[in-house]
Copies of this chain bind each other. A is one copy, B any other.
Amino acid sequence: MFESAELGHKIDDASYKKRAAKLRADLLDAQYAVLEAARFPVVVLINGVDGAGKGETVNLLAEWMDPRHIRSVAFGGSTEDERARPHMWRFWRALPPKGRIGVLFGSWYTFPIVERVAKKMSSSELDQDIEEIVRFERMLTQEGALLLKFWFHLSKEAQRRRLRALERDRLTRWRVTKTDWRNFAKYDAYRKVSERVLRLTSQGDAPWTVVEGTDSNFRSLTVGQTLLDALHRRLEDTKATQKSRPAAPGPEATSVDELHMLRALKFEKRLSKEKFGGLLEKEQARLNKLSRTPAMKRHAVVVVFEGNDAAGKGGAIRRITGALDARQYQVIPVAAPTEEERAQPYLWRFWRHVPPRNMFTVFDRSWYGRVLVERVEGFCDRHAWGRAYSEINDFEEQLVAHGIVVVKLWLAITQDEQLRRFKDREKTRFKRFKITADDWRNREKWGAYEHAACDMIDQTSTDIAPWTLVEANDKHLARITVLRTISSALERAL
């Protein structure tokens, strides 16, 4: 994959100057067209060997285009904030919104390659990381991102010469460190590992562009022109009416009887008020104790609440937070996405709230909106919610792999009980804010929501992040079940 980046490409200064001037103007125009259309984000990855001009290129792009709409992020060692969260968190934070260009200097590729070369990672572990990357990038491109991946390459001899030349020049001497030479000594291993990574991650919608790094004129024009062409093509693509291509969403789940997870629940179970009082105290004390164990420092907790309208999510959440130190938790109510959030891949707004270690985050509604309300109401197409199940499973796997305990609770009530509660809310003045015309409308689609919920449970109740279905016709019982489920999950993890 590196052969044609060792040919000795070179552009003389005179023609560079002429072509760069035009390219620069074109790029600026294209950047503004992308900004105006605001239909897709542009993610540019800059990776490759040391001394091949990665940094200069990042600077150049910012210089050539309007730097206000371009954001370069360099990833070095991770910060404390970043280390406290799953490793992809820092990259999610750096993603540009639609209409903007994000230049990532070093990326999700750096760590696996470096670790593998240092033999801190086995070949099959590397493959696991590669698979994660392929899934992540597929999600990005399916969400509409234009992803450009540049690999700056130097032959072994060219890298040696380059490092020596930098050292000779007093102005650039500081840029060559001992680490650079240590890395150089492992050139062959780097090349081998990089080749494998590039090959396995070069997909149709996100191929690698390998750039010979020797001549700065050549590499600048190559990166600039590749970016420009890609912007033009994508702008045309999103403008033109697409030629029909086989849309091939997968089969949907079919139900042939009346039995499903939600109907199998036992709604008649009850817990008296007296018993509830005692149990609540006991369960809150248990959770509180768990939240203060030293082992919590290595973990975090994400609690997801979904369920029927008026199932008592709010009340249950208050019983959780009541057991916790106010500095140790956050409740995230999930409503319609903000403008900023709509400009990002779907899961972005949840990644924002992934807790650092030792923290509880409670989501009142969650990323499951995609396969519930968005599916039922037609806010997204079948392709989008169809692939969301596996995207969500991948997301939760990353949380769990980082030591986060993921508790997913579905609060279920019967249709009759919901009607009773809706009427009660309308009658009671201080509850009236809780009921809207939307609630009544959703109620009419009870069957569709139930169907979506069952599919969701089938597809996303996994060993590592199972769903717990909570019978919530009796609020007391539901609250105790919620507390117990969280504490049990925590006890298993700690």
Contact = CB atoms under 8 A, between A and B. Distances in A.
A383 B244 CA distance: 12
Contact of A124 (B128, B146, B248): B128
A242 B199 CA distance: 33
A199 B462 contact: yes
A388 interface: yes
Nearest to A224: B256
Given A131-B131, A218-B257, A203 B390 contact: yes
A281 interface: no
Contacts of A134: 131
Contacts of A40: 246, 248
Contacts of A255: 222
Contacts of A381: 243, 245
Interface stretch (A326-334, A435-443, A452-460, A470-478): A452-460
B257 A9 contact: yes
Contact of A256 (B200, B222, B245, B254): B222
Contact of A242 (B1, B245, B252, B264): B245
A459 B207 contact: yes
A200 B132 CA distance: 11
A277 interface: no
Contacts of A199: 390, 393, 462-463
A230 interface: yes
B4 A457 contact: yes
Contact of A122 (B124, B229, B461): B124
Contacts of A226: 251, 253-254
A7 B241 contact: no
A260 B4 contact: yes
Interface string A243-277: 11111111111111101110010000000000000
Given A226-B251, A251-B229, A144 B246 contact: yes
Which of A222, A246, A252 has its CB near the most chain B CB atoms (within 10 A)? Answer: A246
Given A222-B254, A242-B244, A256-B225, A458 B4 contact: yes
Contacts of A463: 192, 195-196, 199
A229 B382 CA distance: 15
Contacts of A243: 381
B234 A248 contact: yes
Contacts of A454: 4
A188 to B, nearest CB: 11
A237 B242 contact: no
Given A202-B390, A204-B387, A7 B122 contact: no
A251 to B, nearest CB: 4
A470 to B, nearest CB: 14
Interface string A280-304: 0000000000000000000000000
Contacts of A222: 254-256
A202 B87 CA distance: 24
A225 B254 contact: yes
Contacts of A205: 248-250, 386-387
B204 A389 contact: yes
A206 interface: yes
A146 B251 contact: yes
Contacts of A1: 458-459, 461-462
Interface string A209-230: 1100000001001100111011
Contacts of A251: 146, 148, 207, 209, 226-227, 229-230, 233
Contacts of A230: 251-252
Given A3-B461, A7-B261, A124-B128, A204 B388 contact: yes
Residue from the set A40, A144, A249, A386 with the largest chain B CB neighbour count within 10 Å:
A249
A378 B8 CA distance: 32
27 contacts: A3-B461, A4-B458, A7-B261, A9-B257, A10-B259, A19-B256, A40-B248, A124-B128, A127-B127, A130-B131, A147-B250, A195-B462, A202-B390, A203-B390, A204-B250, A204-B386, A207-B253, A210-B458, A221-B256, A221-B257, A225-B254, A226-B254, A230-B251, A237-B248, A242-B242, A242-B244, A245-B383
Given A9-B257, A226-B254, A245-B383, 10 more contacts: A1-B459, A40-B248, A148-B251, A202-B393, A203-B250, A203-B387, A204-B383, A207-B389, A233-B252, A245-B381
Closest 8 CB pairs between A and B? A204-B387, A230-B251, A204-B386, A124-B124, A242-B244, A221-B256, A226-B254, A131-B131
